[in-house]
Amino acid sequence: MDPVRHLKISMFVLLMLVTAGTTGYMAIEKWPILDALYMTVITLGTVGFKEVHDLSDSGKIFTMILIVVGVSVLGYIVGSLAQIMFEGQIQRVIGRKKVEKMIDALKDHYIICGFGRIGSLICKEFKANDLQFVVVEKDPETLERLTDEEYLHLKGDATLDETLLKAGIKQAKGLISVVTSDTENVYITLTARGLNPDLYILARSGEEGSDIKLKRAGANKVVSPYLIGGSRMAQSVLRPNVVDFIEIATGSEHMDLQMEEITIPPHSAFAGETLISSGFRKEIGVIIVGIKKGHGKMVFNPHSHSRIEGGDTLIILGEPGAITKLEDLVDRTASDEIIKKHRNEHKTP
């Protein structure tokens, strides 16, 4: 049985015992209610005070029974309280150890510093896309929210080396710093870059000019929510249909059309192909709206004879099923005879 339920039952039994003892003294000794209640309380409490009045033989027998039953009930209550407190502590310790083991096992994950409005939205999107991440937060109330949301998290100051090391920064793929203070974001970026020079760092910028400081500190990319929000609101008035299209293509709640990016592995059988010979649009039904070359140049609206090289990233627009099909196709092109056949078919006039 649940210890809390045990405690509730015990308290109810104790209340009934006090009532029965008071009633018994009133009936046996003919005492007033206050004297009877006082005698019951000091008897159950085993404090050793003298009797309120001299007891009759019946009163003495009743008192002995009350002491035996009362001590048993009080002992049971104390045991229930101890069990609740002890089990709660043990569960917290075990739970924390379990979380620490899960964090230690992470690899190629993301570290999110700060769980405010922006941080919570990032976590929601990452969870929807099955990305591994851990949240670093120091506010006690926010930590309770993280527990309720069942996000992997740890308590600590993200500006400190030991906190980021506990979050697995050495094995992490990226870090996102979205605390409200630009100063803390700069410190977090500096600390993270010092601990992992190859880490991808995305930082939030609030005040004008802080983006330059964040990039100097080592951030790969800096995002200003206020700048993006203001620009989006203005574009919603100036180009409402364009904004609607972008929201449909990039919003996780829209499942009929999505925009995604797929990187072509160097060993891929599609490396060296052109867009038309790859058959991406004709066979799979996706539109290549851009190609980010391996050296960083972005090619918008590439023509059909644009060549795909290993390391290029394709910006794709299409239905989720078609995008998933293309991801699977690219991933298994290293030595797959079926894919070779697929390529030869498209090369055949």
Residue 198 tokens read as 């190859």
| Strand pairing report for 287-292 and 298-300 | antiparallel
Average pLDDT, the chain: 83
Averaged pLDDT for residues 249-272? 74
pLDDT at 172 > cutoff 90: yes
What would the pLDDT profile of 178-206 be if each residue is shown by its tens digit?
998 999 999 999 999 999 999 999 999 98
Its pTM stands at: 0.58
What is the architecture, at CATH level 2, of domain 239-347?
A: 2-Layer Sandwich (3.30)
pLDDT for 223 equals 92
Top-tier CATH class for 3-101? mainly alpha
Could you give the angle at which helices 140-149 and 117-128 cross, rounded to 10 degrees? 20
The C-alpha atoms of residue 177 and residue 200 are separated, in whole angstroms, by 11
Strands (E) across the chain are located at 110-113, 133-137, 153-155, 174-177, 200-204, 221-223, 258-263, 287-292, 298-300, 313-318
Residue 323 tokens read as 């995008």
Q: Domain residue spans in the chain?
A: 3-101, 107-228, 239-347
Handedness of CA 256, 257, 261, 264 (dihedral sign): positive
Contacts of 123 (CB under 8 A, 6+ apart): 112, 115, 133, 135, 149, 151
CATH number of 107-228: 3.40.50.720
CA distances from 215 to 44, 98, 159, 211 (A): 71, 36, 17, 6
